[in-house]
């Protein structure tokens, strides 16, 4: 495993997270933000794609490139 060069905070955007209280998407977001430093990649070299629904907001909450698309395009 590579030595982390970033922290989970480096992966978090400045956007307010707007999911319903108790939504499991919070846990997934936090887990990904904690995982990314361990992978040894950098936010500026990362793209997240999302489809529709509440989870589609995911790219907005990551300090990376991202695309919110429609079904069949993500």
- Full-model pTM: 0.84
In 1-74, which ranges are E strands?
A: 47-50, 65-68
What tens-digit pLDDT sequence spans the chain (74 residues)? 566 689 999 999 999 999 999 999 999 999 999 999 999 999 999 999 998 888 899 999 999 999 988 876 55
Q: What is the domain partition of the chain in residue ranges?
A: 8-68
Q: What is the DSSP letter of 61?
A: G
Residue with tokens 């429609």: 70
Rounded to an integer, what distance in angstroms lies between the CA atom of residue 43 and that of residue 10? Answer: 8
Q: Tell me how far CA of residue 15 lies from CA of 1, 4, 63, 72, in angstroms.
A: 30, 24, 9, 26
């Amino acid at each position: 495993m590579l030595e982390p060069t970033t922290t989970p905070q480096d992966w978090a955007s400045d956007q307010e997270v707007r999911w319903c209280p108790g939504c499991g998407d919070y846990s997934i977001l936090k887990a990904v933000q904690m995982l990314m430093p361990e992978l040894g990649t950098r936010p500026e070299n990362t793209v997240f794609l999302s489809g529709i629904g509440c989870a589609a907001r995911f790219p907005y909450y990551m300090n990376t490139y991202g695309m919110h698309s429609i079904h069949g395009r993500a």
